[in-house]
Amino acid sequence: MNDTAVRVRGLRKRYGDVDAVNGVDLDIFRGEVFALLGPNGAGKSTTVEILEGHRRRTGGDVSVLGADPGKPTREWRARLGIVLQTSNEQPELSVREIVRHFAGYYPRPRDVDEVIEAVGLTEKAGARLAQLSGGQRRRVDVALGIIGGPELLFLDEPTTGFDPDARRQFWRLIEGLAGGGTTILLTTHYLDEAEALADRVGVITGGRVLEVGSPMELGGRATATARVSWLGPEGRQSLETDSPTQVVAELSQKFDGEVPELTVARPTLEDIYLTMIGEGR
Amino acid sequence: MTTAALPSPVRIGLSRGVLELKAFFRERSAVVFTVAMPMILMLIFGTIFKGKVHDTNVDFRQYFAAGIIASGIMSTTFVSLGVAIAQERDDGTLKRLYGTPLPKAAYFIGKAVLALALSVLETAVLFVLGNVLFGLKPPSTPERWLTFAWVFVAGVVVCTLLGIAVSSVPRSGRGAAAVLNMPYLVLQFISGVYFPFDGLPSGVQQAGALFPLKWMSQGLRSALLPDTLLPAEPAHSWEHGRTGLVLAAWAVAGLALCLTTFRWKRRRDG
């Protein structure tokens, strides 16, 4: 079996005179969580929808689980899970009813109650969808995405509109799925989400992939200088340095112990990302 | 790796039908609107009109009761389905389904199950009302029962297919009810539902005769009303052969339209 779940070469999508996607290359390996980042209108959603078989491409080679998503078959669909952005359908059905119903679409579905438990809705299994909160509805969406036991799961901005606590809970759910070997392609606007979940992130802007790397290494983040800052006699001072430990040691000597309001910061993924898409424009 | 077989479209389709029925009957306002509208029309027309159909001894209220049963079938199939599917396209239901191994046929089967069940319910309710208020009688012979059955089934099939096909016309779910009700209203008035068909201007008659509702109404009259009504029918006969041909032609056209024009996605989702 091939160890690449998604392989994209020279993907193009043209709307009228505009190339929304203009030469995207991408490899997503089996078992990894891959986060695709990019500003609105960068071609992120279009790329993902082409991979999902929801949109036709103008050009390029695409292979998703060894098949061309431009010609989706039922067999291929049965191996994918897709969690779209919010939906409000079927408010009068209960969680268990809708999950059980979707299970009937697949050749070897997962156990209905087990999936409901995995998304943390066991206590709400009998409740109608209309009675659920936004976060709980999103969990139903995920349940429907994973009920078929997918090899590859697409998650499109899964935590938009969540409160911080709900987001953390949701991350644990995704970590659990990834731990079970599901390949996950995640799109998100939250950089901390990408950092917490993804093995690798890709930044897409202007219809192209700018860079792919681990969240720690993207954009030279691992080797970037650190900023040491503290409150000195003349006010706040700071220093860019490649050897922050040494700087802190010297400061400690100078202040004879505690350094007032000491911080040592490396650029966050968000800093790196904003710099990257700034240059990409 | 062994691959387990995909569930058959018929099995998934029936499961969708059950789900559709559950969801429909839990949405009380939809149930009331769908079933009550034709009942209200029947009551209103029943208080306005009196007397016999011209040149016959048939109570006019029985005449339009049969017609309202036919238009009730069109309401639970063509209008209800067309609006529901357009809304499901708009709210993302169809997009979600398209991302699963659900075959198109299974989705259609589910809708057909819903349409058939609602049509049976609606027909039963309207018949009982027509019977109690206007003395509408059940088919008097086995032959007429047979006529009733095939006209009913053909009407449901044709209008279901056309409802699925026409659901692709409205640009949004919100506009769907307006788009679907317009042809429905016009057809009711040019198909001899509320007025004797042969009293309409000949141009209107010719237009009405192109569409299924005229033939469904006429077919149901042939099953529910006596032959003494024939002098008031346009051809002075029940024209069963022609009714069958017109409905069969519309069924073929409707099926072709469904298969060629059905869209899972909104227009802007290209």
In this prediction the ipTM stands at 0.87
All residues at 6 or more sequence positions from B172 whose CB lies less than 8 Å from its CB, including other chains: B86, B90, B266
Query: pLDDT truncated to tens, each residue of chain B (270 aa)?
Result: 456 789 999 999 999 999 999 999 998 887 888 788 888 888 888 888 888 888 888 999 999 999 999 999 999 999 999 999 999 998 888 999 999 999 999 999 999 999 999 999 999 999 999 999 999 999 999 999 999 999 999 999 999 999 999 998 888 888 888 889 999 999 999 998 888 888 889 999 999 999 999 999 999 999 999 999 998 888 889 999 999 999 999 999 999 998 888 888 887 665
B3 touching A (Cβ < 8 Å): yes
From A1, A54, A93, residue closest to B99, measured CB to CB? A54
Q: Do B3 and A55 touch (CB under 8 A)?
A: no
- Domain span at residue B153 reads 9-269
In a domain, B111, yes or no: yes
In a domain, B2, yes or no: no
In a domain, B1, yes or no: no
Q: Answer for the pair A105, A148: CB distance below 8 angstroms, yes or no.
A: yes
Q: Do B7 and A107 touch (CB under 8 A)?
A: yes
In a domain, B52, yes or no: yes
Q: A157: left (phi > 0), else alpha (psi -120 to 50), else beta?
A: left
Q: Answer for the pair B64, B50: CB distance below 8 angstroms, yes or no.
A: no
Q: Answer for the pair B224, B58: CB distance below 8 angstroms, yes or no.
A: no
Name chain A contacts of B16, Cβ cutoff 8 Å.
101
In a domain, B175, yes or no: yes
**Counted domains in chain B:** 1
Q: Indicate the pTM of the whole model.
A: 0.87
d(CA A222, CA A267): 9
Q: Answer for the pair B53, B134: CB distance below 8 angstroms, yes or no.
A: no
In a domain, B4, yes or no: no
Name chain B contacts of A52, Cβ cutoff 8 Å.
99
Q: What angle do CA A148, A154, A156 make, to 5 degrees?
A: 130
Interface of B with A in 81-100 (CB under 8 A): 88, 91-93, 95-96, 98-100
Distance from CA of A47 to the nearest CA of B (A): 13
In a domain, B75, yes or no: yes
Report the candidate in B193, B154, B255 with the shortest Cα–Cα distance to residue B64.
B193
Q: Answer for the pair A99, A87: CB distance below 8 angstroms, yes or no.
A: no
Element housing A236 (H / E): strand A235-241
Q: Do B101 and A148 touch (CB under 8 A)?
A: yes
In a domain, B202, yes or no: yes
Q: Do A77 and B23 touch (CB under 8 A)?
A: no
Report the candidate in A208, A280, A210 with the shortest Cα–Cα distance to residue A22.
A208
B265 touching A (Cβ < 8 Å): yes
Is B237 strand, coil or helix? Answer: coil
- To test the contact with chain B by mutation, choose from A45, A54, A108, A128 the residue with the greatest count of B C-beta atoms within 10 A, namely A54
All residues at 6 or more sequence positions from A175 whose CB lies less than 8 Å from its CB, including other chains: A197
Token digits of residue B169: 């016309």
